[in-house]
A and B are shown apart, each in its own frame.
Chain A
Amino acid sequence: MTLLNIDLVLETLGIVAVRLDDDFIVREVSGNMLDIPLNTDMREYMPALYGLEEVFETADANMSMPFVQIGNARDEPIALTVRRDPETGVLWLFLRDVREESAMHRQLVQNHNSLSLAQVELVKARDAAQKADRAKTAFLANVSHELRTPLHVIIGGASILSKARNTPLEPDEVTDYAIDMHESGVLLLQLVDDLIDLSRSETGNLILYEERCDLCEIARAITTLCQDLPEARHTVLECQVPADPVWLFADARRIKQILLNLISNAVKAVANLNAAEVIVTLDPDMPSLTVADNGPGMTAEEVATARQPFGQPRAGVRGKGTGLGLSIVERLVSLHGGQVVIVTEPGKGLAATVSFDPERLLKSTSLSQNVS
Chain B
Amino acid sequence: MKTYKIVVLGDFGVGKTSLIRRYVLDEFSDEYRATLGVHLYKHADTLVEEDLKISLVVWDIEGAPLPSGQTQRYIVGASGAVVVGDMTRDDPFSAMWAAADIFEEALPGRPLCLALNKCDIATIDNEETVARMKRRYDCNAFMTSARTGDCVTPMFHALTRSILARGL
Contact = CB atoms under 8 A, between A and B. Distances in A.
Contact of A71 (B3, B20, B76): B20
A66 B37 contact: yes
Interface stretch (B28-36, B97-105, B116-124, B152-160): B28-36
B59 to A, nearest CB: 8
A84 B30 CA distance: 43
Given A54-B77, A65-B73, A72 B32 contact: no
A329 B78 CA distance: 57
A109 interface: yes
Contacts of A64: 73
A51 B73 CA distance: 12
B36 A63 contact: no
B144 interface: no
Interface stretch (A42-50, A249-257, A354-362): A42-50
Nearest to A110: B34
Interface residues of A, number: 30
B3, B25, B79 — most chain A CB neighbours (10 Å): B3
Given A72-B25, A117-B13, A117-B32, A47 B77 contact: no
* Range of interface residues on B (Cβ < 8 Å): 35 or more
B41 A65 contact: no
A47 B41 CA distance: 8
Contacts of B137: none
B164 interface: no
A47 B60 CA distance: 13
B5 A77 contact: no
Contacts of B12: 109, 113, 116-117
A128 B8 CA distance: 33
A113 B63 contact: yes
A192 interface: no
A67 interface: yes
A58 to B, nearest CB: 12
A52 interface: yes
A296 to B, nearest CB: 32
A69 interface: yes
A55 B34 contact: no
Given A113-B12, A114-B32, A55 B77 contact: yes
B34 A109 contact: yes
B20 to A, nearest CB: 7
B37 A50 contact: no
Among A53, A66, A69, the most chain B Cβ lie within 10 Å of the Cβ of: A69
A69 B76 contact: no
Given A68-B40, A106-B34, A120 B77 contact: no
Interface pairs A-B: 7 shortest CB-CB:
A67-B37, A51-B77, A51-B5, A71-B39, A106-B36, A71-B41, A47-B57
Interface of B: 3-5, 12-13, 20-21, 24-25, 32-43, 57-60, 62-63, 70, 73-74, 76-79, 89
21 contacts: A43-B3, A47-B3, A47-B40, A47-B57, A48-B57, A51-B4, A51-B77, A52-B76, A52-B77, A55-B76, A63-B73, A65-B38, A65-B70, A66-B37, A67-B37, A68-B38, A69-B37, A69-B38, A70-B42, A71-B21, A109-B34
